[in-house]
Amino acid sequence: MEKKDKKLHTKKMNKLLYPLKFSPILKDKIWGGAKLKKIFEKPALSHILGESWELSGCNGDESVVVNGFLLGKNIKELIEIYPEKLLGERNHTM
């Protein structure tokens, strides 16, 4: 997205930001088990679920929005569109 387009898009979208829900990133681990599925009702497909990343910006493991008009956008895309709203005005320039 070009800088001019990004600013216009951001200006329009800033007023529309809403509580975001993300799909958890589930990680099987050798020490894992069924507790995350049983206690926290995580949608585990295996019996060795060891971690549930609730929010991640790690390459290859970016959290994805599961609600609203931003459905399908990942956390890096959101930070690109809403840097000040998500990171704070001072933090996003660092």
Whole-number Å distance between alpha carbons of 44 and 29: 12
pLDDT for 10? 57
Least trusted range by pLDDT, from 18-22, 32-36, 84-88:
84-88
Task: Between 21 and 7, name the one with better pLDDT.
Answer: 21
For residues 54 and 24, the answer to whether their CB atoms sit within 8 Å is: yes
* DSSP code for 55: S
Amino acid in position 63: S
pLDDT confidence tier of residue 88, bands split at 50, 70 and 90: confident
Helix and strand numbers (H, E) in the chain are 4, 4
Q: Is the pLDDT of residue 13 over 90?
A: no
pLDDT for 62? 98
Token pair listed for 4:
């001019």
